[in-house]
Structure 1
Amino acid sequence: MADKTLQNDKSHPVRRFIEALPFSKALQMEMEEMADGRAVISMPYSKDLVGDPATGVIHGGAVSALMDTCGGAAVMSHPQVTAATATLDLRIDYMRPATPGERITARAHCYNVTRSVAFVRAEAFDEDQTRPVAAATGAFTVAGG
């Protein structure tokens, strides 16, 4: 069962850490859920993030940043992790362009934690929640390893 303290507590250190990152602020990322190694973070559509002016599609780097931040939040919310984390490796497969004008939401799950590395899977969706925009797998540091 999800830890409701993490999910609903606006002052929780993990939530404060993610929401205080200048890059997260610049992309207007919003923490929607976070508990027990899972996180959901969304980002609104912005013309400032468009990678192709002809189509209005968001740049893949913005999607990548969203998924990376969400993966880090999932790691930091895992019960076995007690400190901040850093990305060691992140592989992203872009499935399709995000629909212009639509909010993008990333969902990440930290599914395994070793002494020094945490492993994450993530997906990003626009308003079509049935077809991912991108999928990712990543490895993140675990303090003390």
Structure 2
Amino acid sequence: MSASTSYQPVLTEKSINPHVLNVEYAVRGELSNRANKYAELLASGDHEKVKKENGIRFDSVVTANIGNPQQQPYLAQKPLTFWRQVAALTEYPDLLQNKSGTLSDLFPSDARARAEQILRDVGSVGAYSHSKGASSIRKHVAQYIEGA
């Protein structure tokens, strides 16, 4: 760009699609605002009095619209531990060398076996892989998709 050419932004509030400007995020908006208000009201004092004064016919608010199945205490889905265990073992492979009973108490055999396999195949999860991903993992994904 030469000194005589002035910069002109491509996107402005006038040129951008109005739907982009008015987009609403799923955890915001009227439903979310009302749920937050009810939760605050229910937590603010005498439960029955608050319910009566505000026309609320429930005891709690479950924010199921945000995709948080582990929220406490209402949904309380247990986390998917297998992949967390595999990740822990591949990120800190020295744990796999610990043959004491505590390792088997903390990490089930299937998670240990998967972590060992991944480390054998890729060497280290801290290093860059091929741009398409580690070949052994791509192979396992393809086998799964093909139903093998």
Q: Say yes or no: TM over 0.5.
A: no
Higher relative contact order (CA 8 A, sep 6+): 1
Higher helix share: 2
Which bracket does the TM-score occupy, shorter chain normalised?
under 0.3
Say which one has the larger Rg. Answer: 2
Q: TM-score by structure 1 length?
A: 0.21
- TM-score w.r.t. the length of structure 2 is 0.21
- Which has a greater percent of strand? 1
